[in-house]
């Protein structure tokens, strides 16, 4: 996924959790459901009951609508410095996935983000591509939703994975494709046709 936009029950994303009086006590807290979590819940209800599902984000910056904003420019600049000893704007360990040491414990990886990267954010594209390549290298089955722009192999090469949520006339097609991907265990690659 791209970035989390979810908060603990009783809190919101309008200001930092610290400003709202949230206590970081190293325990689990129930989260407010959003559209993405509702879609996950409905899609994995039957074939995945009792299975542990881990959701990883390209960026752990818990802020809605980070694109198109200067935040993406900062993330792209951070990724350019990520492998060096230089400081980054956002914490390297807390905000980014280190694809070289990334652990993927499951049997498969489902990518749900990547088709909307601005082509001038080359470091973000490379970052997503490296994560996809590392998943394949680790022997994980890779699944995603795509369209007519690329075939499945090209999608992995270009890190072109459709988000499960969309707006407008393709909203229902994306939601249905995501649900169809998870009808079986393991999921399947889904192609959306116009």
* pLDDT at residue 104 in the model: 86
* pLDDT at residue 138 in the model: 92
What's the pTM?
Answer: 0.84
Given a cut of 70, the residues of the chain with pLDDT beneath it are: 68, 115-117, 194
- Three-state secondary structure call for residue 191: strand
The answer to whether position 11 is within a domain reads no
The answer to whether position 27 is within a domain reads no
To which residue do tokens 């795509």 refer? 146
Domain range enclosing 78: 35-191
Look at residues 37, 66, 5, 14 and name the one whose alpha carbon lies nearest to residue 178: 37
* pLDDT at residue 181 in the model: 93
Backbone angles phi, psi at 176, to 5 degrees: -65, -40
Cα–Cα distance between 147 and 134 in angstroms, integer?
23
The answer to whether position 62 is within a domain reads yes
For 84, which DSSP code? Answer: S
The answer to whether position 10 is within a domain reads no
* pLDDT at residue 68 in the model: 67
Two tokens, residue 99: 């694809």
Q: Domain tally for the chain?
A: 1
Cα–Cα distance between 180 and 28 in angstroms, integer?
31
89, 61 in Cβ contact below 8 A? no
The answer to whether position 122 is within a domain reads yes
* pLDDT at residue 84 in the model: 85
Q: Which residues contact 51 (CB under 8 A, 6 or more apart)?
A: 185
The answer to whether position 117 is within a domain reads yes
């Amino acid at each position: 996924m791209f970035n989390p936009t979810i908060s603990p029950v009783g809190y919101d994303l309008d200001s930092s959790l610290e400003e709202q009086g949230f206590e970081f006590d190293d325990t689990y807290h129930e989260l407010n459901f959003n559209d993405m979590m509702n879609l996950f819940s409905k899609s994995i209800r039957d074939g995945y009951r009792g299975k542990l599902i881990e959701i990883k984000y390209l960026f752990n910056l818990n802020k809605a609508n980070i694109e198109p904003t200067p935040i993406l420019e900062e993330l792209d600049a951070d990724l350019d410095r990520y492998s060096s000893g230089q400081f980054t704007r956002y914490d390297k360990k807390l905000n980014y996935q280190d694809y070289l040491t990334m652990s993927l414990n499951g049997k498969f990886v489902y990518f749900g983000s990547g088709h909307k990267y601005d082509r001038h954010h080359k470091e973000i594209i490379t970052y997503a591509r490296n994560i996809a390549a590392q998943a394949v290298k680790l022997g994980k089955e890779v699944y995603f939703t795509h369209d007519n722009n690329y075939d499945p192999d090209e999608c992995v090469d270009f890190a072109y994975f459709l988000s499960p949520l969309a707006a407008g006339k393709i909203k229902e097609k994306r939601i249905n494709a995501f649900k169809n991907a998870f009808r079986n265990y393991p999921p399947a690659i889904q192609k959306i046709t116009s």
